[in-house]
Amino acid sequence: MCKSCRSFVIPILILAASNVALSAEPDRATIRVATYNSSLFRDTDGELIRDLESGDNPQARKIAEVIQRVRPEILFLNEFDYDAAGRAAQLFRTKYLAVGQNGCAPIQFEHHFTGPVNTGVPSGRDLTHDGKPAQPNDAFGFGRHPGQYGMLVLSKFPIDRDHVRTFQKFLWRTMPKPMLPINPKTQKPYYDEGDLAILRLSSKSFWDVPINVPARDTSQPFTLHLPCSHPTPPVFDGLEDRNGRRNHDEIRLIADYIDAMKSEYFVDDAGKHGGLAGDAHFIIVGDLNSDPVDGQSVPGAMNQLLQSPRVNVSFTPTSEGGPLTVRKFPDQFANNHGDPAHVTSNFTAEGHGCLRIDYALPSRGLEVVQGGIFWPKPGDPGADAITATDHRSVWIDVRPADKR
């Protein structure tokens, strides 16, 4: 699967933070933030709602169990089908998270945010140039119905809904010097002017969700921004690498948004200009579909964030279960260079190994006290529950470094 494996490794300094076993609840002096690709998507509109209504869907119960074991106070979910009425989100919160699963304590999230995404929304164009318009690949983001592979923020703290920013409709060509694909046969742009006039950059959406964190034992109240997204996988395309290039620029969108020197071109869905304030606290969360050293991303795609001067990379979450999986399938990792302890996804069933593609990346104004990847060893609590999705939940405990 590796189209452009690299032999370099991002240097990571482990400071005071540590990867530890999860406690029953996060420390009162810190805030626990997690990201999780839940794979709670379905191929038909409304199917997820129907699956959740009984309160006994096996997959949803396992996903809820993982969340109850991680016990985040702020959680971002990828691949949770969106519906305008928020019915699926409400069912999951009340019939799964608020009910103890497999001996775990229930968990309550009083606040949530969700919104429309580009997946499955018809573009009206033949974006794959195969003469067959109106296919899932011709939507603004790959999907079989609008809202498939949606996104959901859950929080124990109030969400400042009046200041949530979404960039669902931001056009790819609006980005300065975008990495637009080139037809390798003609050396001309892959997308014509008609395509570019409507082609949105985000395959799902890009959100900035501000959350009002109350005073903790050692800090004052502050606003925590969650730049949330789910860039397209850099595969399922041709030699033009349209998905790889889009993935690169979706990640660049995050990097530019947090950089005041590069964010002047931003215009959100409400018409507001500019990016994130230079002194804002943030944690970038999501399945970014890009491993820094392995896989099929455009080389350097993740470095746009991992080498950003605004991102705190002093701590990298690890797991015990990830390296065990890597060792079990040595043939799938012969060309990989990343640390097996850092992988967050398991694609060994398809023969594609494991990659680090799920992230919780804090700003430099936040200190990471501890964190990890919820990937227990076989036989440990939660080991069966993680099979509900091919991703693992990444979590970190943080506190403002300048407010201790």
Compute the distance between CA of residue 143 and CA of residue 23 in angstroms, rounded to an integer: 38
User: For residue 15, what pLDDT band results from cuts at 50, 70 and 90?
Assistant: very low
Nearest in space to 98 (alpha carbons), one of 24, 154, 159 = 154
Where residue 259 sits, what CATH number does that domain have? 3.60.10.10
Q: Which of 391, 333, 384 is nearest to 1 (CA)?
A: 333
- Here the tokens at position 75 are 């959680």
Spatial distance between the Cα atoms of 402 and 221, rounded to a whole number of angstroms: 13
Would you state the pLDDT for residue 195? 98
In a domain, 36, yes or no: yes
Domain residues for the domain of 217 are 18-400
User: Does residue 13 belong to any structural domain of this protein?
Assistant: no
Q: Residues 6 or more apart from 310 whose CB is under 8 A from it?
A: 258, 259, 363, 364
Q: CA-to-CA distance for 347 and 233, rounded, in angstroms?
A: 13
Alpha-carbon distances of 352 from 5, 35, 124, 345, rounded to whole Å: 13, 22, 33, 10
In the predicted structure, residue 48 carries a pLDDT above the cut 80: yes
Domain count, the chain: 1
Residue 187 is assigned to a structural domain of this protein: yes
Sign, CA torsion 72/297/253/141 = negative
* Widest distance between CA atoms in the chain: 62
pLDDT at 9: 35
| Portion of the chain with pLDDT greater than 90, in percent | 90
In a domain, 158, yes or no: yes
Task: Give pTM, 2 decimals.
Answer: 0.94
Strand blocks (E) in 5-110: 18-19, 31-40, 74-80
Task: Looking at 230-318, list the stretches that DSSP marks H as alpha helix, in order from N- to C-terminal side.
Answer: 242-257, 303-306
CB 390 within 8 A of CB 39: yes
Angle at 318 between CA 208 and CA 207, to 5 degrees: 10
Has residue 361 been placed in a domain? yes
Say if 121 falls within a structural domain. yes
Q: Are 68 and 101 a contacting pair, CB within 8 Å?
A: yes
**Positive/negative CA dihedral, 113, 116, 120, 125:** negative
Question: 177-223: per-residue pLDDT in tens?
Answer: 999 999 999 999 999 999 999 999 999 999 999 999 999 876 789 99
Q: Examine residue 383 and state whether it is found in any structural domain, yes or no.
A: yes
Query: Is there a domain that residue 9 lies in?
Result: no
Mean pLDDT in the chain?
Answer: 93
For 354-390, the pLDDT digits (tens) are 999 999 999 999 999 999 999 999 999 999 999 999 9
